[in-house]
Amino acid sequence: MGLLDPVVEAARLLRSSRYAIVFTGAGVSAESGIPTFRGSGGLWRRFRPEDLATPEAFQRDPRLVWEWYAWRIKMVLEAEPNPAHRAIARLEEAGLVKAVITQNVDGLHRWAGSSNVVELHGSILRVRCTRCSYRSNLARVPSEIPPRCPRCGGLLRPDVVWFGEPLPRGELERAWREAGKADLVIVVGTSGVVEPAASIPLIVLSHGGSMVNVNPEPNRYTGLADVEARMTAARFFSLLLAELGLGDV
């Protein structure tokens, strides 16, 4: 199969779709300079993210966890949406994509212009208090590490979902509703191993919908998808926009 064949087929499915959604993982932001958890840039100092992004790690050493998050927040604040983020927003603007469901916490889909975004794992650019109901957005890295709540003095934590924590009920239910309506899901840049998020694209298949799987390497959805696009997210969406006659990004 030639390089353009999966793009041509994906464009055909998208044109004929009634309700298409996009499901994204860390790979969609890799080309914005944000390392994936499981890629070659997934280690910080000598720690694996899976050892730091847990309630137990925060309870044990909140300063260490916050030093890692300060590094990540700085990286996100300096990043910009890449062609994949911008193309997905363009597809929504054109009425071809109805919603974006993302496992990412970097906010780049919203920055690129996507409006109907379900952030399953929260946002690294928000904090919440571990003691009271205080929440706030971040415009810069906290000056105090670990930061404390201005209302009650409790420890603040990133407003993200850590390993071992449930997904926010409201966002999960929104994702289920979107997947339940969809007749096409474009899965982009995810290994498909983190549950329950990874099962959301399978809801689309369960009621007869189609799947396009965009990932340079095989993943959980390989063999299940109608279209396999073994390429980066930015490459795929740039070609897709051109195939659809929507220009470039």
Note the pLDDT tens digit of each residue in 86-122: 999 999 999 999 999 999 999 999 999 999 999 999 9
Give me the DSSP letters along the chain: --TTHHHHHHHHHHHH-SSEEEEE-THHHHTTT---SSSTT--BTTB-HHHHSSHHHHHH-HHHHHHHHHHHHHHHHH----HHHHHHHHHHHTTS--EEEE---S-HHHHHT--SEEETTEEEEEEEESSSS-EEE-SS--SSSS-B-TTT-PBEEEEEPPTTSPPPHHHHHHHHHHHHH-SEEEEES--S-STTGGGHHHHHHHTT-EEEEE-SS--TTTTT-SEEE-S-HHHHHHHHHHHHT----
Please check whether residues 177 and 248 belong to one and the same domain: yes
Sequence-ordered list of residues with C-beta below 8 angstroms from that of 108, at least 6 positions apart, any chain:
29, 32, 34, 76, 79, 80, 81, 82, 85
Nearest Cα to Cα of residue 34 among 221, 194, 189: 189
* pLDDT score, position 50: 75
Please check whether residues 64 and 179 belong to one and the same domain: no
| Amino acid at the residue 61 | D
Lowest mean pLDDT among 16-30, 35-49, 67-81: 35-49
Please check whether residues 115 and 21 belong to one and the same domain: yes
Cα-only R_g, the chain? 18
* pLDDT score, position 2: 46
* pLDDT score, position 48: 74
* Region 124-130 average pLDDT: 96
* Region 237-245 average pLDDT: 95
Please check whether residues 110 and 225 belong to one and the same domain: yes
Q: Does residue 1 carry a pLDDT above 50? A: no
Model confidence, pTM: 0.90
Please check whether residues 200 and 232 belong to one and the same domain: yes
Q: Does residue 34 carry a pLDDT above 90? A: no
pLDDT band per the 50, 70, 90 thresholds, residue 46: low
Q: Which residues are catalytic?
A: 121
Total domains in the chain come to 2
- CATH value at residue 85: 3.40.50.1220
Domain boundary among 132, 160, 188: 160
